[in-house]
Amino acid sequence: MKISGAEILIESLKKEGVDTVFGMPGGVVLQIFDVLYNEKDLKFILTRHEQGAAHAADGYARAKGRPGVALVTSGPGATNTVTAIANAHMDSIPLIVITGQVASRMIGNDAFQEADIVGITRPCTKYNFLVKSVDELAMTIKEAFYIASTGRPGPVLLDIPKDISGARADFEYPEKVSLRSYNPTYYGNKWQIKQAAQAIMKAKRPVIYAGGGVILSNASDELKELAEINKIPVTLTLMGLGGFPGTHPLFLGMLGMHGTYAANMSIHDSDLVIAIGSRFDDRVTGKVSEFAPKAKFIHIDIDPTNIRKNIHVDIPIVGDVKNVLMELNKEIRMIEENKNQLIKEREPWYSQVKEWEKEHPLTYKKSNKIIKPQYVIEKIYEQSGGDAIVASDVGQHQMWVAQYFKFDRPRTSITSGGLGTMGFGLPAAIGAQFACPDKLVFNVAGDGSFQMNLQELATIAINKLPIKIAIINNGCLGMVRQWQELFFSQHYSGSILNTIPDFVKLAEAYGIKGLRAKSPSEVEAVIKEAISTDGPVLMDFIVDPGENVFPMVPAGGGNAEMIFGEPAKVEKGKAIAKKEKKNSVLPA
């Protein structure tokens, strides 16, 4: 029996194991939504904005480990997803965005709610499709999921004209897919792996620098084995947090612009950097010419275009991180006869790393009068026992989460790394909660970023999602203000928000419990009450408006040039310390 394109789409999604779709309806996708009306095996989540839908699908993918799906209409519905698509593209997240399109005969005629979404998203998708025949629809969906989830993952857009949704065809979902021009390399070159093993066994000051590829490849166990059998310190990127236990004695913390002193100095003085599933992002390297100047580099990544893109690499290995690490660990075990002697020779290195950890640990000035944002993160970690998924927005609070919440497990840190998208955290938390309904999910947001997608409070309330929202409310766009203070003569241009709206009243307007803490003594009780409440809770923490994120590497500086306090100015990338900080001009 022939079925409609809309029915083919829904049946194909179920064949791919999709259980949840986020989105909003519109004119050209009504046939698809009509099929969804009686669908019992696939849950549709109505969000309040298409950007929120695509971010929720992104958060679902990060927490679940398989593609998230968003379904929206044409024109503005489709273009509203572009930021979320670009966000997923930068962070290598498997995302399927299905957009409706005007009827095929009207494409190119400036029809009502027409947009060339295929052309618009070509630079920020892994691939995209405009479906031209209902007979091709099932195979196109199969290819879309295959491309999104294999190799280096990424977003794929599927644009379906209205007439394709209504046309009818026989349905048989393909068992497999083969694309002649797309064949990711999953197994590393054995000679290169052997070279890497020998380099590791010779190194006196090795450091592992791992990124989001470890999580995407489900290679956390293999990374831990590599570190432990060779006693090598590990530092992670923002996207890699959770890929190696944050409480492990070999963990140095995050590296880069707001990384720890121990992590940055270990990289700076290393003689061998083992880069795993990372891309040498500028926020990690700082001034490239001063990044690990004494080291040789091993670089393991599934995407060959990442190799030698930013940094010269001595031993490149293209392949899936999990597969490569399994082979590398085997190879290292075969040459274990000198391991004890080697570890003994590395004792001065281990001592130096520990000294750096003691010299400049993560710290802040505590107060009994005003809430420090770092204290809020510490208490969230403490009260959750570290057993929570934390979806953060972008800004100062994001860095404090990265510094003070010790992620021990992969897929528990949900954050926008490459694109740095404000407004990501709340809808991403929704996706993560649907992906992991039994997990405690926090959204840690700034008062600025939270307002960019706060309409999704309705999605949380209607679906009774027990998400705990912690707003770090400093009355400004914190990271912008920090840069203006440090590098732009305290010219706070466009960065002061003041305390509007009243977030507790806003939460209550949506039927969500609202709590507020204005003093340090109230913080712990508010968090405890939120966690013990069955439904969603919004917590408004009124924090020190002048608090900055430290350590910090100034833009253009090397990672060894770190600021630990308030500088008066920056000259040629170097901080010049001042004797006393000026009074803050920010609102109390």
Cα torsion through 456, 460, 463, 464, rounded to 10:
-160
**Polymer length in residues for the chain:** 588
Whole-angstrom Cα distance, residue 433 to residue 429? 6
Question: In Å, how far are 55, 250, 257, 373 from 506, measured between CA atoms?
Answer: 22, 44, 35, 22
> What pLDDT is recorded for position 556?
85
| Catalytic residue from among 113, 195, 198, 352 | 113
Strand-pair category, 95-101 with 155-161: parallel
> What pLDDT is recorded for position 569?
45
Q: Which residues contact 19 (CB under 8 A, 6 or more apart)?
A: 41, 42, 43
| Catalytic residue from among 162, 322, 372, 379 | 162
> What pLDDT is recorded for position 514?
98
> What pLDDT is recorded for position 452?
97
Known catalytic residue: 479?
A: yes
> What pLDDT is recorded for position 584?
36
Q: Are 432 and 59 spatial neighbours (Cβ–Cβ below 8 Å)?
A: yes
Whole-angstrom Cα distance, residue 531 to residue 380? 9
CB atoms within 10 A of CB 556: 12
What sign does the dihedral 373-379-385-389 (CA atoms) show?
negative
> What pLDDT is recorded for position 536?
98
pLDDT tens-digit map of 420-429: 999 999 999 9
Whole-angstrom Cα distance, residue 183 to residue 387? 38
Q: Is 511 left (phi over 0), alpha (psi -120 to 50) or beta?
A: left
> What pLDDT is recorded for position 534?
96
Tokens (6 digits) for 62? 């990060």
Q: Are 272 and 572 spatial neighbours (Cβ–Cβ below 8 Å)?
A: no
Among residues 408, 369, 53, 355, the alpha carbon closest in space to that of 242 is found at 408
> What pLDDT is recorded for position 567?
55
Known catalytic residue: 162?
A: yes
In a 13 Å sphere around the CA of 227, the CA atoms on its Cβ side amount to: 24
> What pLDDT is recorded for position 240?
98
Q: Is 260 left (phi over 0), alpha (psi -120 to 50) or beta?
A: beta
Q: Which residues contact 10 (CB under 8 A, 6 or more apart)?
A: 32, 35, 36, 39, 42
CB atoms within 10 A of CB 494: 11
Q: For helices 137-149 and 5-15, what crossing angle results, to 10°?
A: 30
| Catalytic residue from among 2, 112, 347, 359 | 112
Domains of the chain: 2-170 (3.40.50.970), 190-359 (3.40.50.1220), 373-550 (3.40.50.970)
CB atoms within 10 A of CB 212: 28
| Catalytic residue from among 254, 452, 479, 539 | 479
Among residues 174, 170, 24, the alpha carbon closest in space to that of 97 is found at 24
Report DSSP letters for 385-446, one per residue. Answer: TT-SEEEE-SSHHHHHHHHHS---STT-EE---SS--TT-HHHHHHHHHHHSTTS-EEEEEE
> What pLDDT is recorded for position 250?
98
Whole-angstrom Cα distance, residue 168 to residue 462? 35
> What pLDDT is recorded for position 577?
40
Strands (E) in 464-554, as ranges, are: 468-473, 513-517, 537-542
Residue at token pair 């609102």: 587
Q: What is the Cα 487 distance to its own chain's centre?
A: 27
**At 300, which helix (H) or strand (E)?**
strand 296-301
| Catalytic residue from among 16, 50, 357, 378 | 50
In a 13 Å sphere around the CA of 132, the CA atoms on its Cβ side amount to: 3
Q: Walk along the chain (588 residues) and give the pLDDT tens digit of each residue.
A: 899 999 999 999 999 999 999 999 999 999 999 999 999 999 999 999 999 999 999 999 999 999 999 999 999 999 999 999 999 999 999 999 999 999 999 999 999 999 999 999 999 999 999 999 999 999 999 999 999 999 999 999 999 999 999 999 999 999 999 999 999 999 999 999 999 999 999 999 999 999 999 999 999 999 999 999 999 999 999 999 999 999 999 999 999 999 999 999 999 999 999 999 999 999 999 999 999 999 999 999 999 999 989 999 999 999 999 999 999 999 999 886 777 788 889 999 999 999 999 999 999 999 999 999 999 999 999 999 999 999 999 999 999 999 999 999 999 999 999 999 999 999 999 999 999 999 999 999 999 999 999 999 999 999 999 999 999 999 999 999 999 999 999 999 999 998 789 999 999 999 999 999 999 999 999 999 999 999 999 999 999 999 999 999 988 889 999 999 865 444 434 444 443 333 333 333
> What pLDDT is recorded for position 583?
35
SS3 sequence of 97-142 = EEEEECCHHHCCCCCCCCCCHHHHHHHHCCEEEECCCHHHHHHHHH
Q: Are 338 and 201 spatial neighbours (Cβ–Cβ below 8 Å)?
A: yes
Known catalytic residue: 50?
A: yes
Q: Are 301 and 318 spatial neighbours (Cβ–Cβ below 8 Å)?
A: yes
Whole-angstrom Cα distance, residue 99 to residue 81? 9
Tokens (6 digits) for 206? 């090795």
Whole-angstrom Cα distance, residue 316 to residue 304? 9
Tokens (6 digits) for 357? 């950890």
> What pLDDT is recorded for position 566?
64
Q: Are 499 and 542 spatial neighbours (Cβ–Cβ below 8 Å)?
A: yes
Known catalytic residue: 291?
A: no
**Is omega for the bond preceding 551 within 30 degrees of 0, making it cis?**
yes
Strand-pair category, 2-4 with 168-170: antiparallel
Q: Are 164 and 131 spatial neighbours (Cβ–Cβ below 8 Å)?
A: yes
Whole-angstrom Cα distance, residue 28 to residue 75? 10
pLDDT tens-digit map of 213-224: 999 999 999 999
In a 13 Å sphere around the CA of 270, the CA atoms on its Cβ side amount to: 29
Whole-angstrom Cα distance, residue 207 to residue 284? 14
